[in-house]
Structure 1
């Protein structure tokens, strides 16, 4: 491997490095002026003091081969990787032509997805998981390249950073974790973050992991470290940590005041350690450049900044009418079963069989489909409920495999792997029971706003399967419901089937669509006779299309999941006991919601009962009731009523569970009272 030194590096390369460092620092210094002029850049995290390692990151990055996940301080890294000063300023002042996301994401979040310089979250460190996921795809598809992910030393305290490094070393993936250690997590000094002086030492026990230390202030040491890291990662398909010792010359950001926690001696020291000035002095001392030559380079950089500034200021601002663009991608539209219904006859299949057979059919159709989760791929075993039974023997360990007990890792690497190519489709069992999904919520949030945040440039093509709900005597962490919370986040399609054919059809549509889908599976119905149906081959169900399970004219019952069957039972009893005509709507899809079918039914019956398994208080039914009350109030003959769980967790003892969850008797009583209103 070639070693870079001041004496052996050619003059053209040294000139390029000095130009990039000078231009980057000029932009970094100018950024606060935009805020003072009310032009934008309201968040700015200066990189000064990180110059060496960031220059090296960008220089080593190979466009077309590598992926880069920069953090909010990586201005020089992306500049050295090829982004222009104009592109960086467009991001800083949030213009419509910002290549990172059209002004939709926070300033100082530099990206160019077209080049695989990825648009990452403000939750620093969470993108480590995405880097691991895309590296997994590189290995699977035998692609030569590495994934770089970068952040400060304080971020290593985050659980998902540990999960990413653990996973990359376990799976032996070519990921380079760049830790830019400037000694502070905002105002918190490193010794309050971790016991080790060098945070990379926290990971010395990881097998297959190489750790390289370098002086992140020094251009040559950083270049040698990053070059060695890339060569090692590619040649061995193993991860590397590059810990770069840096200094933070300015405050953490423009909302921070470092004089409140750093004394004058320390501030004087970091000023003296300025990497740009040190590099400039070195070029003169070793007579590689004259003072006049360096001044000309500085003048050229200043000129480029001036021109970039003028163009960026003149660029258009985002159009407020576009806020609803790119919330979710256009889905696959069913071709044969346009409305998601059928009249075919044959042998009924239970819900778990329908899901299993659909997974297998879609895996055969698209060889770029993958499945992982906890305990889902041990030869013939397919999870606690055997939903993925037989998948690994047929499709192999490269496509169907077990993940660590780390829900964040499961979700985050799915996000990352789906970045590698657009035809990849990923199915994850987000947790063996939906209740255990909460540790993955930050990555769920990432998935929901990736498409919007990148201005339509990237959407994770992921279907998250969650075995949800009660009626199994499972108690805490085995019987709760999540949809009331998760439907508040735009960007995910959320479906909740009640019958085998709908489960098959919605799963197929999800796997043929671009975008992110949350697929709830009512586990109490997996093997239930009442949810078993005939499932036509290649059955499809469109998103946002409810199914009328029972026609009626006296009252509308709106439901989904486990309670669909309870509502049908109650409707049958009401018909027998009082000759009432009950309409039961099975929503199937919560987002998008079929408001048209709901409206037609409400106009016909004038009375509405919303029933779901989740808690009544703040449950998804509250949104349905509010929408009807706001948009259809003139057609109502009575207030909208709701039935659901009590505002408590679901207990373990069957006596407690029965008291908490809705049942046929409670639905019957609520409907009868409403009918008699």
Structure 2
């Protein structure tokens, strides 16, 4: 099967979705130019009315998308930097997230918000290094976070087809990754996690760009210490595949959560609560979380490295739960 980069998979999903449905449009800053390549060729293929460059006013074009969706279109809203959603938070949280329920389901709100280069890229400091999906989960958005090119295309197609607003997290560290992607259009249903690596000793729940890191750590521990690590990727954070999550947890009885968001009130905290409430009797060791520290991201590279979750921390956590013995 041919190999595509994450951005190429996104681009193909955009082209195929827009080709299949004339109501799909895309808006945002520098969309026509395609500064990273994910929107390359869209303007030439679909024209001015469906590929809209906007002023640098996130609140304005986010509100525009809500109106377009209520009028029957399926807008894709692209944020070039994820932290800029904070500028549009009223439009997102007070309007789009609540609109369908407040109207009693009488109107659909099929909007896909794409958060480009989410997370740290190295030296981008406090305003350009956030992974804001916990805020959006709290607001009730459907949120997907693909870890590879195949999942990126399938989840994007599904996001565009949804009648509810969806947030698509394109992690900065995932964008250069390459993997097998079918040419035909396909969708990955939400709420379907994926076992990226089978294992029997410890379950590692990894999110987004941390999945490849978790796979590398799992392989090393298998070779060097004969520890069998299962790597489980939720793919969609809301809705969450609770059945798949609990199946893996009950299989191994030991859990480490690897997530590049804050420890306090982050996604890892929610996963820990779910496991504790629904699978406590299956646990053989306390749940471990490897997360970002609860501080703004520093500009200094050494300090930034100290804040981010790291493979060595993951390995240490796996060894800790593997060796735990209840006294």
TM-score range, shorter chain: over 0.9
Number of corresponding residues: 322
Q: In the aligned structure 2, how far is the partner of 1:348 from the partner of 1:666?
A: 31
Matched, 1:435 2:90: no
Q: Equivalent residue for 2:188?
A: 541
Note the alpha carbon deviations across 1:35-70, whole angstroms, 9 max, x for none: xxxxxxxxxxxxxxxxxxxxxxxxxxxxxxxxxxxx
Cα deviation, residue 536, structure 1: 4.3
Task: Find the aligned partners of 2:71 and 2:275 in 1 and give their Cα distance.
Answer: 42
| TM-score of the aligned structures, taking structure 1 as reference length | 0.47
- Residue aligning to 1:406: 57
Q: Distance in 2 between matches of 1:576 and 1:649?
A: 37
Give the whole-Å Cα distance in 1 for the aligned partners of 2:123 and 2:4: 24
Q: 2:212 corresponds to which residue? A: 565
Q: Could you tell me how far apart the structure 2 residues matched to 1:582 and 1:553 are?
A: 6
Structure 1 runs not aligned, ≥5 long: 1-345
Check if 1:518 corresponds to 2:170. no
Relative to total residues, which structure has the larger strand share, 1 or 2? Answer: 2
Is residue 148–residue 177 contact of structure 2 (8 Å, CA) maintained in 1?
no
Deviation at 1:558, TM superposition (A): 0.6
| Correspondence list, 1:76-115, <5 A | none
Correspondence for 1:382 among 26, 34, 48: 34
Q: Is 1:487–2:137 an aligned residue pair? A: yes
Report what 1:502 is aligned to: 151
2:311 to 664, 668, 672: 664
Unaligned 5+ segments in structure 2 are: none
Q: Distance in 2 between matches of 1:673 and 1:535?
A: 40
Taking the aligned partners of 1:486 and 1:528, their CA distance within structure 2 comes to: 25
User: How far, CA to CA, are the matches of 1:386 and 1:479 in structure 2?
Assistant: 21
2:198 counterpart residue number: 551
Where do residues 208-223 of structure 1 align in structure 2 (5 Å cutoff)?
none
Q: Which runs of structure 2 are paired with 1:413-424 in the superposition (5 Å)?
A: 413-421=64-72, 424=73
Paired residues of 1:472 and 1:524 also in contact (CA < 8 A): no
| CA distance in 1 between partners of 2:253 and 2:173 (Å) | 32
Residue 552 of structure 1: how far off its partner (Å): 0.5
Cα pair 1:646 1:661 within 8 Å, conserved: yes
Instruction: Show the counterpart of 2:126.
Output: 476
Aligned to 1:355: 10
Q: Deviations over 1:265-314 (max 9, x none)?
A: xxxxxxxxxxxxxxxxxxxxxxxxxxxxxxxxxxxxxxxxxxxxxxxxxx
What aligned pairs does 1:88-167 form with structure 2 within 5 A after superposition? none
The Cα of 1:425 is off from its aligned counterpart by 0.9
Shift of 1:554: 0.3
Is 2:32 aligned against 1:372? no
Instruction: Return the match for 1:448 from 87, 97, 115.
Output: 97
Q: How far, CA to CA, are the matches of 2:150 and 2:245 in structure 1? A: 21
> What's the offset of the Cα at 1:546?
0.4
- Residues 582-628 of structure 1: per-residue CA shift (max 9 Å, x gap): 00001100000000011111111001111111121221110000110
- 3-state SS in 1 of match to 2:150: helix
TM-score, normalised with respect to structure 2: 0.96
